[in-house]
């Protein structure tokens, strides 16, 4: 009887660990997929990806944190997100073509709109 309880407990612990690990990986993949989606929208060359993706991967969690910060007003969110974008703009402009940069500006504007929308639940 003790062996069955031990095995059941071990199985439950293992299942819990696997569930927590997969949830964490899924969240990470969600963040990466946004970066990859932007990369695809901009139709980056392999050389551009090497330079641009690290910038975007560093920027994305900062923007998400601002979007999810309910203590900030809409204006504060816009200001903070724009400040992040302005920090990376010189690097981004050096990597992207004018057309790609215009697409990125549109994507960034959409991000700002999403950050300032009020969601009713």
pLDDT category of residue 112 using cuts at 50, 70 and 90: confident
Phi, psi dihedral angles at 77 (to 5 degrees): -60, -45
> How confident is the model over 7-19, as pLDDT tens digits?
444 444 443 343 3
> How confident is the model over 36-78, as pLDDT tens digits?
888 899 999 999 999 999 999 999 899 989 989 999 999 999 9
Domain-wise residue ranges, the chain: 2-116
Structure tokens at 86: 């302005």
pLDDT at position 116 is 82
pLDDT category of residue 3 using cuts at 50, 70 and 90: low
> How confident is the model over 78-100, as pLDDT tens digits?
999 999 999 999 999 999 999 99
User: Which residue from 21, 31, 22 is spatially nearest to 67, judged by alpha carbons?
Assistant: 31
23 HSE (CA, 13 A, CB side): 6
């Amino acid at each position: 009887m003790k062996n069955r309880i031990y095995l059941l407990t071990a199985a439950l612990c293992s299942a819990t660990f696997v569930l927590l690990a997969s949830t964490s990986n899924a969240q990470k993949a969600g963040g990466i997929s946004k970066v990859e989606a932007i990369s695809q929208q901009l139709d980056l060359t392999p050389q551009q990806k090497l330079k641009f993706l690290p910038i975007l991967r560093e920027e994305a969690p900062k923007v998400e944190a601002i979007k999810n910060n309910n203590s900030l007003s809409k204006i504060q969110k816009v200001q903070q997100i724009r400040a992040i974008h302005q920090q990376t703009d010189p690097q981004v402009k050096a990597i992207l073509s004018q057309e790609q940069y215009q697409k990125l500006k549109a994507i960034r504007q959409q991000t700002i709109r999403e950050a300032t929308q009020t969601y009713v639940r």
